[in-house]
Amino acid sequence: MPEWIGPRIRFKCILCGECCRLYWVPVTHVDLWRIAEGTGLKPRDFAAPIPKDAVGEWGVPSILLSDGRRHYVVLKKRLDGLCIFNKLSDGRFICSIYDRRPSSCRFYPFVYIPGDVVRLELAKDAERFCPGIGRGPVRDLSAEAEAAAAREAEMESYREVADRWNGLVASSKVGGTFDEFLEFALAAARGLKFN
Ligand code: SF4
Ligand code: SF4
């Protein structure tokens, strides 16, 4: 368990689905592998590239594709804006891949600042969007701290994968289609050991 500090905040998720609608969810090679293994879906079915110049800097690796632009890899959304893995059941918006959800879905409404001591904070605007804040008991953020540390390791590995891929595209050693990238990413993730 990593050392962490964080706010004393009451929080209990009421499964309103708002965070699964508001945000694009960036995924790593490990997320692609984890979800594909758990669902039997092909990454093409649930992931898509989104141009970085259209959405700005997210602080996660981007990949170069054959159109010459950098892209983030994100989970697809439905027309109503909800993540394709969100399912309405008895009036609650449930994550249908909860145990295999991407690492970036494991903190909201908190964000973290990595370091020897993980610092957890409430996400910007979360008080406006998340009705779970202020409900239930004061939240023990140990699980979020652990997920933050795991995500950092995953992100470091993904950075290397993206760098290797971008080098291959820049030197025309691969065509640079999104399908090729997905195969490349899955191959990189296979054989690694994850929790
Ligand atoms: S917005 Fe808050 S309460 Fe709603 S699903 Fe997300 S974390 Fe839960
Ligand atoms: S993967 Fe699950 S938690 Fe993450 S945005 Fe989609 S439905 Fe929400």
136-150 residue pLDDT tens: 999 999 999 999 999
Cα separations in angstroms, 1 against 134, 143, 156 = 26, 9, 19
Q: How confident is the model at residue 129 (pLDDT cuts 50, 70, 90)?
A: very high
pLDDT at 195: 41
Residue-wise pLDDT for 18-56, tens only, equals 999 999 999 999 999 999 999 999 999 999 999 999 999
User: Which residue has 């110049």 as its token pair?
Assistant: 53
* Collapsed DSSP state (helix, strand, coil) of residue 81: coil
Interval between CA 100 and ligand 2 midpoint (Å): 10
pLDDT surpasses 90 at 193: no
Ligand 1 in contact with 22 (CB < 6 A)? no
Interval between CA 103 and ligand 2 midpoint (Å): 10
Residue nearest to atom 4 of ligand 2 (CA): 105
pLDDT surpasses 50 at 102: yes
Interval between CA 43 and ligand 1 midpoint (Å): 26
Q: Are 10 and 139 in contact (CB under 8 A)?
A: yes
Domain ranges of the chain: 3-189
